Structure 1
Amino acid sequence: MRRGRDGSRHDRGARMSTVTSTLTGTVLMEDATTGISLSVHDGVATVRYDQPNSPVNTLNTRVGPVFEQIFARIEQDASIVGAMLVSGKADTWIAGADIDELRRVTTPMEGEALSRGGQQLLNRLAAMSKPFIAAIHGAALGGGLEIALACRYRIATDHPKTILALPEVQLGLLPGAGGTQRLPRTVGLQAALDMILTGKNIRAKKAWQMGIVHELVHPSILLEVVAKRVHALARGESTPVRARAHGASAVLLEDNAIGRKIVFRQARETVLKKTRGQYPAPLAAIEAIQAGYLHGQEAGLLEEARSFGDLAVSEVSRELVSIFFATTALKKDNGLPEGEHADPVRVRKIGVLGAGFMGAGIATVAVQAGTIVRMKDASLERVAAGSCAVRDVLRERVKRRQLTRLQMDDTLALVGSTIDYSGFANVDLVIEAVFEDLAVKHEVLREVEAVAPRAIFASNTSTIPIRDIATAAGRPDQVVGMHFFSPVHKMPLLEVIVTPETSAQTTATVVAYGKQIGKTVIVVRDGPGFYVNRILAPYINESGKLLDEGASIDAVDEALVAFGFPVGPITLLDEVGLDIAGKSGPIMAAAFGERMRPSATLQRVIESGRLGRKAKRGFYRYDEQGKRQGVDQGVYALTPASGSRITVAVEEMQRRTVLPMLNEAVRCLEDGIIRSPRDGDIGAVFGIGFPPFRGGPFRFLDALGAATVVAQLDALNARYPGRYEPAALLRAMAASGARFHP
């Protein structure tokens, strides 16, 4: 038990997902179109937002006039002493702007007008003479948080689903309804910059500590406490306000013009270092915040609205919004062909074969989703190491205050380890992450079918076709691929690989479970490399061939980071492990011939015994802690060019590595490996870090134009025969002028 901020006592472990209240009132206004209503009980007005036909509340141009009428009614009605704003949804408050409406903005002027309208509405709310309290349960995101900041007082529930954020930069935008002005004045400049420039989620307790909200209460008493606070504020009584903490750095840097200038300069430098100027929204947000500090809030609001208009029609925002809609659509996708349906089996318990890096990672995401996990390996030492790896990830979350120690202990209790198949009889799904050897996978598949008669068997292989694994199965309809990406607890993508024999129910079950553990799931058809590794292979190979010709390791990496990848291709090889790359290269070359032939440099480096970062020795040197120390100059002696280095233009390196990736993505669509350009874009962005601001391979192809890409591929293929031949589908689209996306 613990004492609430209001003085009441309640169980900290209680997890109610809905707000309950005995408050009743007389309905004064109700708008069926928007779902906004006004009722009054004991002098307190309740403004309830429950958007019809929507799982969440969003903000659009239709709600503004309704709120204006309600604000006026509250001000004019002498019987009303104050008001609260509540949500009619179970687990969300207000989830931000209606993105569909933003997509319809076609000019900067339209975007600016949209922003100014939101600002004026919230200025009206902030100027209310009667106290208005935000009663927050669930997600208050974007415009939702901006509304809360305009309220005089904010009370939130201490529930896991209560999170607050201004995530607009993730869509290439900035907060457009006053957030760049109100948040810094609420929590301080540095804390506000951190929230606005990253779009990070802030959990309820942290929001209270920062001063975003004034009080935390249990969901069951939220409305009761809010009603009391409305009366107290109306009487002019003091309330338990949580003042913003002013540390020494805040006093030195934020409370004087010179210090703020330093903060803004450092913020710009940090943004440019991370984004290389490819994402304009964070820089625009800094400008708007600074304008407010230099020239007053109204000047800051004008700059915010102007920038919002420019950003709303920018190519970067369009591409980021397209990714948002694609991932939203995938959340509703059952993984089956259009029109086909199968009821997924509920997965309560899984078995994980292999307690190594990948197996432990899979176990980690599974237990965090509440799944019981039985993890098996050949020795006690290995399963112990796997269990420690799970614990280490959870400890890090405790350190970051994302979990309590009690929650960590409860989660760890879901993991059981074994060196035999005890506990596997009742599992719903078995995921194997054993050694990449077909004979080994056949052996464990036969063993699993014998001890777990109803379990789906999923392989985490990244190189071996699922149909080859399924040849050993007695139930091939229940064999599927689940290709996770490393590290599993951080990488968002899951490739589900199906064969012609995989049943609809197996596919639907695995897709549903992938979503349950928090992954963005794409379904791909079986084939060498599946989708993500198949398009990655020519990109890596061509990077290696640049080294064959004498290009510098760091120059190749820098060129592709400048293009927008999070790390360069040579760094990626070191991170993944050269031994793993060495296994996949011959498989891809055997399947696809010259265009997938590994570079001589990569083959020689692998043969030299270098494994990459995990062995402290690869293309780069690493210290004992695994921190990179620079290029290992000894690698150059292994290249066909020996010690001599040449300078290759950045644009040339980008064309030679990226264009074959784009071309291979089109071949995957042509071959039916992926179901749609949408899936191809999401797979590349979430699986290998294809630059999000470019939208994915297919949206980038549309931006370049198929005819332009074919001409560039033909020119390269004339220089390097067999490696750049354009896909037949791409040639056809170049001739017709067609696009992959409308």
Structure 2
Amino acid sequence: MIDYSLDSHGIATLSWNMPGRSQNVLNEESCNALCELVERVVGDAAVKGILMTSAKPDFIAGGDLEWLLSAKTAEALFERVVRLDRALRKLETCGKPVAMALPGTTLGGGLEVALCGHYRVAADNPKARFGLPEVTLGLLPGGGGTQRLPRLVGIQKSLPLLLEGKRLTAAAARELGILNEVVPAGSEPDAAHAWLLGAIAAGGAQQPWDARGFKIPGGAVSSPAVQQVFMAANAMLRAKTYGNYPAPRNILSCVYEGLMTDLDTGLMTEARYFVQTVLSPQAKNMIRTLFFSMNQANKLASRPKDVPQQKYSKIGVLGAGMMGAGIAYVAAKAGIEVVLVDTAQASAENGKAYSAGLLDKQQKRGQVSAEKAAALLARIVPTTDFALLAGAELVVEAVFEDRAIKADVTRRAEAVLGGDAIFASNTSTLPISGLAEASARPANFIGLHFFSPVDRMAIVEIIVGQQTSDATLARSMDLVRALGMTPIVVNDSRGFYTSRVFSTYVLEGLALLAEGVAPALIENAGLQAGMPVGPLALTDEVSSELIWKIDRQTRLDLGSAYKGRPGHEVAARMVELGRIGKKAGKGFYDYPEGGKKSLWAGLAELFPRAAVQPDLPQVVERLTVVQAVETARCMDEGVLRSARDADVGAILAWGFPPFRGGPLSMIDNAGAATFVAQCKRLAAAHGERFVPPAQLKAMAASGATYYTEG
């Protein structure tokens, strides 16, 4: 668990080495071992100094969230936190020098353990990251991070790490003052040992905050400059989170209240806020979806078994527009050769130039070397010649949303591909089974729906057609993981899952506008709900024209079975006016050159404001419930295969509020019976789009939930 040795200089080495795990974590067993060893080294007169390190490539990855959530009561959780605090406090105040030799990544609870050392030396490891990312999972540091870090580097410098969960390289952590030294990899134990010998000779070591007359770097909480920092942080936090996330708010409280006192009192303040935050529904939602469910998706939990893993050396991308160019970039970045095909050589070259532009920006920021950039670009071969696709294990088409064009490129690619090669469509709305009719081998045909911009959207929606084989699904999932992206798997249907449910948000916003609800109220409600952008601004981003075209195609395809939504009429009206969105410089907003966008004044005449306006919570309810009930329909119809993929996909693909955990977590939190009653009330007032599906009504009757744990 933690290996122990004592050398002839009286230096005790505590080396974290948890069996059966790739990384060290803080859990019941390791915390017990740590507490016992702290008692041992502090009480043993033969121990003159303590060196803590790791036998694994990284130091400590953080706390074990399963262990954290397993505490049955707030009191039990509080006792766990306080016990660790006492052990770390005893270690840093024992008078014996403590040095931390950090071979690699040191995050969360790992960095909190490291901060109790008097000296921290890290390996010059380019992959290593240092930080306190708890806030990204709805938590706050509970091992002294909100107290020691501000006392070490100052309040202003520590807040970005605490409130944003920033992860630093070793060099950046050294510059900030978190690390004392960065040395060549492998030499960090020797450097720590050398420092310990000097500290022992000098008579021991003491933390700066335990020294008489200690002053917080950059100013105390009571100083006018720091008071201004807190005022600005509070304002920015409110503007960014709309009060939906307790973790960052509680972090600010921990720092403010804790740093007005001594460290021991501050640690107790932090422990109380930590327990309160862990037990909040927002933290539980975020941990379940962004940690447990995300990890399951990334580990390919839904991958068909008994299919050999596919290694990719060459793929083809058809269409060198922004989407195709983005796919080519992420594949080349993963070390895969890419044949980028377009109708004109100049277009194909432009597609490759997209990667060159990204790499140029990265080189200027020092994120990639010129050699690595050149090697990546060399892996992208722009061409008009389909024959160069020979030998590709997979081809993905990213051409226009036109069935005839897609059918043509399918046949041309398959003519030169090997018999076991996969053909994937990047369509966002057209049913995969229909597109597969153009294929001579529909079992090898699948949907891979990437999101724009591909290099920043780390999710791929994999769509299984009626004839798609399990082997094709498994091998496609292998590609997504090779690209470093998160896959969700859905069954074929119109709009699949993400496009279908995402559209309900924008269309509900347009429906509210048609009803005479004030545009500013609609937009503010979207932000208050936790969505990244209001529905009208989002419509401008995707363009009313695209919404209109998809609706027109759906109407043609479905005939008498077509069911429109009120928002479609609003989009059509904007198309008639030529106000199709941001790309045209005008939509629901005006986009003056060099100026700030503003809501179009003409909306008041086009959609007269109703005399009675709904309350903000009523609008928030409609914008969120419409997404959740449509997700429930996707489960009812078998489009979605798991609640996990539904919630992960919603957050990653279109920005569903993470604090809600995803649409199905939102339903579970309310309880199916309560949510069904809510849907029936909204359906009576606003239409059948809110009618709950049969499966959800059955769940309401039985008390069932989408998630079975807890």
What do residues 618-661 of structure 1 show as CA deviations (whole Å, max 9, x unaligned)? Answer: 21111335x64201223455x4x457786333233233333232
Of 413, 430, 436, 1:470 maps to: 436
Native 8 Å contact 1:542 1:656 kept in 2: yes
Distance 1:549 1:219, change over 3 A: same
User: Is 1:621 the counterpart of 2:590 in the alignment?
Assistant: yes
User: Is 1:519 the counterpart of 2:488 in the alignment?
Assistant: no
What do residues 563-606 of structure 1 show as CA deviations (whole Å, max 9, x unaligned)? Answer: 11111122111122333322322345555733656531111112
User: Is 1:263 the counterpart of 2:232 in the alignment?
Assistant: no
Native 8 Å contact 2:120 2:181 kept in 1: yes
Of 404, 411, 416, 1:439 maps to: 404
Give the equivalent residue in structure 1 for 2:24.
Answer: 57
CA drift of 1:414 comes to 3.0
Native 8 Å contact 1:480 1:497 kept in 2: yes
Greater displacement, 381-390 / 139-148: 381-390
Counterpart-to-counterpart distance in 2, 1:302 and 1:197: 20
Give the equivalent residue in structure 2 for 1:553.
Answer: 519
User: Is 1:672 the counterpart of 2:641 in the alignment?
Assistant: no
Native 8 Å contact 1:344 1:505 kept in 2: no
Counterpart-to-counterpart distance in 2, 1:262 and 1:722: 51
User: Is 1:362 the counterpart of 2:327 in the alignment?
Assistant: yes
Give the equivalent residue in structure 1 for 2:499.
Answer: 533
Give the equivalent residue in structure 2 for 1:329.
Answer: 296
Counterpart-to-counterpart distance in 2, 1:655 and 1:79: 66
Matches within 5 A, 1:260-299: 260-299=226-265
What do residues 113-142 of structure 1 show as CA deviations (whole Å, max 9, x unaligned)? Answer: 222122112112222433322221222111
Distance 1:737 1:252, change over 3 A: closer
User: Is 1:606 the counterpart of 2:575 in the alignment?
Assistant: yes
Give the equivalent residue in structure 1 for 2:213.
Answer: none
What do residues 655-677 of structure 1 show as CA deviations (whole Å, max 9, x unaligned)? Answer: 33332322221111111111111
Greater displacement, 443-452 / 522-531: 443-452
Counterpart-to-counterpart distance in 2, 1:410 and 1:233: 47
Counterpart-to-counterpart distance in 1, 2:366 and 2:239: 27
Greater displacement, 349-358 / 78-87: 78-87
Native 8 Å contact 2:548 2:568 kept in 1: no
Counterpart-to-counterpart distance in 1, 2:241 and 2:135: 12
Question: 3-state DSSP class of the match of 1:633?
Answer: coil
Matches within 5 A, 1:484-499: 484-499=450-465
Matches within 5 A, 1:33-432: 35-43=1-9, 44-75=11-42, 80-90=47-57, 92-236=58-202, 257-323=223-289, 324-336=291-303, 340-421=305-386, 423-432=388-397
Counterpart-to-counterpart distance in 2, 1:673 and 1:176: 40
Distance 1:145 1:391, change over 3 A: same
Native 8 Å contact 1:95 1:142 kept in 2: yes
CA drift of 1:457 comes to 1.4
Structure 1 counterpart of 2:150, one-letter code: P
CA drift of 1:343 comes to 1.6
What do residues 491-538 of structure 1 show as CA deviations (whole Å, max 9, x unaligned)? Answer: 232101111322222211211221222222110001101111122233
Of 583, 598, 601, 1:633 maps to: 601
Counterpart-to-counterpart distance in 2, 1:576 and 1:220: 50
Counterpart-to-counterpart distance in 2, 1:253 and 1:304: 20
Give the equivalent residue in structure 2 for 1:648.
Answer: 614
Question: 3-state DSSP class of the match of 1:219?
Answer: coil
Give the equivalent residue in structure 2 for 1:724.
Answer: 690
Question: 3-state DSSP class of the match of 1:93?
Answer: coil
Native 8 Å contact 1:136 1:162 kept in 2: no
Gapped regions of structure 1 (runs ≥ 5): 1-34, 240-249
Native 8 Å contact 1:334 1:512 kept in 2: no
Q: Percent identity?
A: 36
Of 563, 566, 587, 1:594 maps to: 563
Greater displacement, 722-731 / 228-237: 228-237
Give the equivalent residue in structure 1 for 2:210.
Answer: none
Distance 1:722 1:588, change over 3 A: farther
Counterpart-to-counterpart distance in 2, 1:596 and 1:554: 22
Counterpart-to-counterpart distance in 1, 2:380 and 2:611: 52
Give the TM-score normalised by the residue count of structure 1: 0.88
Distance 1:456 1:655, change over 3 A: same
Gapped regions of structure 2 (runs ≥ 5): 206-215
Question: 3-state DSSP class of the match of 1:294?
Answer: coil
Question: 3-state DSSP class of the match of 2:562?
Answer: helix
CA drift of 1:156 comes to 1.4
Question: 3-state DSSP class of the match of 2:62?
Answer: coil
Structure 1 counterpart of 2:580, one-letter code: L
What do residues 68-112 of structure 1 show as CA deviations (whole Å, max 9, x unaligned)? Answer: 33234434556554332222323x321111101111234333332
Counterpart-to-counterpart distance in 2, 1:115 and 1:270: 30
Please, what is the CA RMSD of the aligned residues? Answer: 2.6
Distance 1:79 1:357, change over 3 A: same
Distance 1:295 1:444, change over 3 A: same
Structure 1 counterpart of 2:24, one-letter code: N
Give the equivalent residue in structure 2 for 1:544.
Answer: 510
Question: 3-state DSSP class of the match of 2:476?
Answer: helix
Native 8 Å contact 2:459 2:652 kept in 1: yes
CA drift of 1:158 comes to 2.0
Aligned length in residues = 693
Counterpart-to-counterpart distance in 1, 2:31 and 2:228: 38
Greater displacement, 572-581 / 413-422: 413-422
Counterpart-to-counterpart distance in 2, 1:156 and 1:584: 54
Give the equivalent residue in structure 1 for 2:681.
Answer: 715
Native 8 Å contact 1:559 1:653 kept in 2: yes
Give the equivalent residue in structure 2 for 1:245.
Answer: none
Give the equivalent residue in structure 2 for 1:483.
Answer: 449
Native 8 Å contact 1:83 1:133 kept in 2: yes
Structure 2 counterpart of 1:230, one-letter code: L
Native 8 Å contact 1:111 1:308 kept in 2: no
Native 8 Å contact 2:510 2:566 kept in 1: no
Give the equivalent residue in structure 1 for 2:211.
Answer: none
Structure 1 counterpart of 2:399, one-letter code: V
Give the TM-score normalised by the residue count of structure 2: 0.92
Distance 1:129 1:486, change over 3 A: same
Greater displacement, 355-364 / 227-236: 227-236
Counterpart-to-counterpart distance in 2, 1:406 and 1:183: 37
Counterpart-to-counterpart distance in 2, 1:186 and 1:734: 53
Counterpart-to-counterpart distance in 1, 2:469 and 2:201: 66
Question: 3-state DSSP class of the match of 1:451?
Answer: coil
Structure 1 counterpart of 2:386, one-letter code: Y
